[in-house]
Structure 1
Amino acid sequence: MPPDVALLTTLRSQARGVQPRTVALRRALHRRPELGLDLPHTRDAVVAALADLPLQVHLGRSVSSVVAVLEGARPGPTVLLRGDMDALPLAEDTGLSFASETDGAMHACGHDTHVAMLASAARVLAARRNDFAGRVLFMFQPGEEGFHGARYMIDEGLLDRTGPAGRPDAAYALHISATLPSGEVHVRPGPLMAAADAVTVTVRGRGGHASAPHDALDPLPAAAAMVGALQTAVTRRVSAHHPVVLTIARIVAGTTNNIIPETAFMEGTVRTLSETARATVHDEIERVCRYIAMAHGCTAEVHIEPGYPVTVNDADAADRVGKLAYTVLGRDRVVTMDTPIMGAEDFSYVLAEVPGALAFLGGCPPNVHPGTAPPNHSNRVVFDEDAMASGVAVYAGLALDALAK
């Protein structure tokens, strides 16, 4: 049976009680952002924040991950809660008193808030170990920003029955967003975020003098034709019921104004919400580029680097997130999303193995309209720290809801 409403609603005051710790950890991490899979300072800060709690702490072998396990009053199921830890390669321009002190790195996606919220949720839950049966697995993950950190942790046994907490029965994550009203929780069942694959195309022709294109094989007209034809292929070869975004974001060719180059290089991204559409688009990219190049007397080398898979929320788990947030935060704080978004998330690797859900937590700063706030991944993004108390309460509530005696 689920915990009673009174028990859950007290989580808000408990989250506010640990808010000074939450803010302090968040700001310490924000000052010293780290990129990728090797995050020694961040890892050590997490371990220090958890040091006085009754947790079993395990450090990653191949990456700077931290896994902490909290045992309840008696045996029971396992719930996984995830917080990603890495920053982005940006120069911060926010003017915050605790702005990044690391050149070319910034917590522009709010992962510092995720770590701080998860650490404080562990503190709240540790004080309530007698209220649940089973265990909570806290997953502090590096390398979410394109480095497949979750996959590394899974490969190290995170989800195995012989892993640090046994195989989880449910998995949840929150992701803060600067363009959603502060303290709101947005969630939906089914596909939530897209698969993201990188596309590179090298068009090879024959260089020559720009005044005599007939003596060369110019790769640029072929590359230009590919950009338009790829967009047509998306609209004509993929069902409108399967959303696809294909963007060629970079074209590089040539050295000066009177030389026809030998090669033209293009790269971009393709985002899909189903494996069917993903496979179709991959085939179309290869076919379109190869035959357009051939029509221009050139050749095309196409490479598609698979990225994160589609992030799919289990319907029951998404429903639990909504109901839990309704109870803990209030009815007006919960929004069911109408559509997915085309960004990507490597929590998708966990959700492919364990029923669970990822939800968005609003973090728009006060006195700023969500529609005009600098978004995640902007060098000017600012998050409302008050929203973190809501995140702590929701994290802790999800564990209590799933593990109630």
Structure 2
Amino acid sequence: MTGRFDDAAAALGDELIAVRRELHRAVEVGLDLPRTQRILLRELEGLGLEITRGESSTAVTAVLRGGRPGPVVLLRGDMDGLPLTEATGLPFAAPSGAMHACGHDLHMAGLLGAAKVLAARRAQLPGTIVFMFQPGEEGYAGAQLMIEEGVLDAAGERAVAAYAVHVDSATPFGQLVTRVGAMMASASALRLTLHGTGGHAAFPQLAIDPVPVAAQLILAVQAFTARRLPATDQAVISVTRLRSDSAASNVLAASVDIEANIRTLSMATLETVRTQLPPLLAGIAEANGCRLDTEFLSSYPVTYNDPAETAQVLAVLDELVGAERVTRLPEPSMASEDFSYVLQEVPGTLVFVGAAPASGAVPMHAEITAFDDAVLPLQVSVLSELAWRRLERG
């Protein structure tokens, strides 16, 4: 089956691959991405878009106003990389100690391609499209910052729908994956500092040793998920950091630092964890003569695909590539995404597209992560078609 943008997207293939590889080498981490921003601004020049830059980051927002009246749709692509030293051996591998190991270079190139093919049809475009180039997805909540600075209303009125395409290095090439409802988990953290008294390792009876108490706290975290939460709406809580302040093998620690990563698929479950787990752990600490300081750090919310929008998205994807290449994900992923902030405000859908290299699937967020950038025309076609179809619906 053929979409209305397939030919135009295919014609841009070599150009987009070249830009993607340039972005790959120019990778930067966080919210301040000046080299990346310069490349994006260069590529957007001459398209007749209304471009604004972020105030607290190097975000780029570009507005395309169509020649026909209609609503506003937002398309998003994230910009930042990860603090990894690349070990792919690719000729365009990043040399800087940072790496696009989550495919954001492809996201930017795909969104640039959509801007180019849609701008070429401006006269027939039934509405307005906002292109959201967002830094700081990897833990910096860049989407939230852009929302605070007005990206959802950049066209003068609120977007009625928002879409994003995310590549996946472990999914077969060209396969499209999404689901109705919760798509990805929320991400939060619980930081604990457990205070004892320290002392001589030979005389533990003269001290309050926080280390065995820390072990009890870790076990209590695991029991909490099994016994305080419903089996149908579980959380994944992983203790990721554990460190005492003892610098010698014959010194009992005076304090232990613990950090847990928390993933949930509903905000109700997250609230249960936030309100019930810290006092439970504090009680265990107190029962053992220790004091516990707790800090709950809320991060990305649940990425929720609006049911009505996603039903329309699935119908479009089936038509574009055939139902056999569209996977309805049976369960959400426990990974997280800050496109969730956008989807809290505007109904929309996140779609994954398989970009596993010909050499075989590889994990994301790893030094060896690699993608087949021949997927870019498909990204462009999907983004463009979703935006156009939504504008036509009014």
TM-score > 0.5, shorter chain as reference: yes
What is residue 326 of structure 1 aligned with on the other side? 318
Superposed displacement of residue 165, structure 1: 4.3
| CA distance 1:113–1:165, shift in 2 (3 Å) | farther
TM-score by length of 2: 0.97
The residue type equivalent to 2:193 in the other structure is T
Contact 1:187 1:321 in 2 (8 A): no
What is residue 344 of structure 1 aligned with on the other side? 336
Contact 2:356 2:362 in 1 (8 A): no
Looking at structure 2, the residues matched to 267 and 96 of structure 1 have their Cα atoms a distance apart, in angstroms, of 36
Aligned Cα root-mean-square deviation (Å): 1.3
5 Å-filtered alignment, 1:212-361, equals 212-253=203-244, 254-361=246-353
Secondary structure of 1:309's match? coil
Looking at structure 1, the residues matched to 310 and 371 of structure 2 have their Cα atoms a distance apart, in angstroms, of 24
Does the alignment pair 1:18 with 2:12?
yes
Contact 1:148 1:346 in 2 (8 A): yes
Give CA deviations for 1:115-168 in whole Å, capped at 9, x if unaligned. Answer: 0000011111111223321111100000001101011111111123xx334210
Does the alignment pair 1:146 with 2:139?
yes
Does the alignment pair 1:62 with 2:50?
no
The residue type equivalent to 1:233 in the other structure is F
Does the alignment pair 1:33 with 2:27?
yes
Looking at structure 1, the residues matched to 215 and 343 of structure 2 have their Cα atoms a distance apart, in angstroms, of 39
What is residue 134 of structure 1 aligned with on the other side? 127
Looking at structure 2, the residues matched to 84 and 99 of structure 1 have their Cα atoms a distance apart, in angstroms, of 19
Which of 366, 369, 394 is matched with 1:381 structurally?
369
Looking at structure 2, the residues matched to 17 and 320 of structure 1 have their Cα atoms a distance apart, in angstroms, of 27
Superposed displacement of residue 183, structure 1: 1.0
Give CA deviations for 1:213-251 in whole Å, capped at 9, x if unaligned. Answer: 000100001100111111101111111111200000111
Give CA deviations for 1:349-376 in whole Å, capped at 9, x if unaligned. Answer: 11111110111111111141xxxx3211
Structure 1, unaligned stretches of length 5 or more?
Answer: none
5 Å-filtered alignment, 1:58-137, equals 58-102=52-96, 104-137=97-130
Which of 166, 188, 200 is matched with 2:191 structurally?
200
Contact 1:11 1:328 in 2 (8 A): no
What is residue 166 of structure 2 aligned with on the other side? 175
Superposed displacement of residue 15, structure 1: 1.1
Secondary structure of 1:377's match? coil
The residue type equivalent to 1:202 in the other structure is T
Secondary structure of 2:240's match? strand
Secondary structure of 2:73's match? strand
The residue type equivalent to 1:310 in the other structure is V
Contact 1:226 1:288 in 2 (8 A): no
Give CA deviations for 1:241-300 in whole Å, capped at 9, x if unaligned. Answer: 112000001110122211101001111200011111101112232122201111211111
| CA distance 1:97–1:165, shift in 2 (3 Å) | farther
Superposed displacement of residue 320, structure 1: 2.0
Looking at structure 2, the residues matched to 66 and 385 of structure 1 have their Cα atoms a distance apart, in angstroms, of 23
| CA distance 1:28–1:165, shift in 2 (3 Å) | farther
The residue type equivalent to 1:204 in the other structure is H
Give CA deviations for 1:85-104 in whole Å, capped at 9, x if unaligned. Answer: 000010100000000021x2
Secondary structure of 1:192's match? strand
Looking at structure 2, the residues matched to 233 and 173 of structure 1 have their Cα atoms a distance apart, in angstroms, of 35
Secondary structure of 2:28's match? coil
The residue type equivalent to 1:358 in the other structure is L
Secondary structure of 1:67's match? strand
Secondary structure of 1:404's match? helix
Looking at structure 1, the residues matched to 226 and 217 of structure 2 have their Cα atoms a distance apart, in angstroms, of 14
Secondary structure of 1:159's match? helix
